[in-house]
Amino acid sequence: MLELNGLSKRFGGNQVLQDVSLKLDPDTPITGLIGPNGSGKSTLFNVVMGFYVQDQGTVHFEKQQLDNLPPEKRCHTGLSCTFQDSRMLSFMTVLENLTAIPTPQLGESLISTFFARGRIRLEESKLKDRAYEILELLHLTALADKPAGSLSYGQRKLLEIGRVMMTNPRLVLLDEPTAGINPTLIQSLVTILETLAQRGMRFFLVEHNMPLVSQLCDRVLVLDAGKLIFNGTAEAARNDKQVIEAYLGSDSYVNT
């Protein structure tokens, strides 16, 4: 579904991505992207989402070339939006944070506002239904009317994932979703990802916690100094000489 060809990106004299090509297969529910700190994982995601422009290479999603689309248009193709610029608003309620997501809905156009009030109300109630369904899944229903600012750090991260889900994406990119959240919430996150994956949503996941990668990811890609050095199962990655060397040569480590 996602296809990257020959992606390169440099910041000044720092070659951060070097000729990265990969394909995500729709039959693989969760693909992991791992690699030492600074190996270019977040940069790769930022290029795919359109937050950074690559120096070379192309990004295709389900055969559509995305390179000339700004980030906000990319989410209308079914790729997730991570809303880097429009962060969660702490004074709005949890529910409002979900329903305020710009989905390609009827209410956006003035003409349809004028001619189709009834349809817009219908759209709004559908949006609310979807928001409540997501809150249920995230175990946040009881907090629907609380200001988002009152949530714990971990709950806020779940809400951010909820905001991504509102656009009903087919592929979601998650960059270290478990960073800084407690073990109980990590377990609910795992259940949520597994449930959504079963329903057909696909994930591309950067994650440091190796037991979690082994548990969740059907396939793992490894970046080292901006190059893809491995593509296979998590089990095989752990035993791969090049992967082990990449981690040993860095200040990161593989949690086992």
List residues near ligand ADP by CB under 6 A: 11, 14, 16, 35, 37-43
Nearer to ligand ADP, 14 or 86 (CB): 14
CB of residue 13 vs Mg ion: minimum separation in angstroms? Answer: 20
Tokens of 59: 């990004």
- Interface with Mg ion, residue 250, by CB under 5 A: no
Q: Strands of 30-34's sheet, edge to edge? A: 171-175, 202-206, 30-34, 219-224, 227-232
Give burial (CB, 10 Å; 0-12/13-18/19+) of 65: exposed
CB of residue 37 vs ligand ADP: minimum separation in angstroms? Answer: 5
In the list ligand ADP, Mg ion, none, the entry touching 178 (Cβ below 5 to 8 angstroms by class) is none
In the list Mg ion, ligand ADP, none, the entry touching 156 (Cβ below 5 to 8 angstroms by class) is none
| E strands present in the chain | 2-11, 14-23, 30-34, 56-61, 64-65, 171-175, 202-206, 219-224, 227-232
In the list Mg ion, ligand ADP, none, the entry touching 39 (Cβ below 5 to 8 angstroms by class) is ligand ADP
CB 223 within 8 A of CB 40: yes
Nearer to ligand ADP, 42 or 77 (CB): 42
CB of residue 214 vs ligand ADP: minimum separation in angstroms? Answer: 19
Nearer to ligand ADP, 43 or 155 (CB): 43
In the list ligand ADP, Mg ion, none, the entry touching 169 (Cβ below 5 to 8 angstroms by class) is none
In terms of Cα–Cα distance, which of 238, 102, 237 is closest to 164? Answer: 102
Report d(CA 99, CA 130) in Å as an integer: 9
Q: Could you tell me which stretch among 39-47, 143-151, 186-194, 242-250 binds Mg ion (CB under 5 A)?
A: 39-47
CB 65 within 8 A of CB 137: no
How far from the centroid of its chain's Cα atoms is residue 111's Cα?
33
In the list ligand ADP, Mg ion, none, the entry touching 35 (Cβ below 5 to 8 angstroms by class) is ligand ADP
- Interface with Mg ion, residue 42, by CB under 5 A: yes
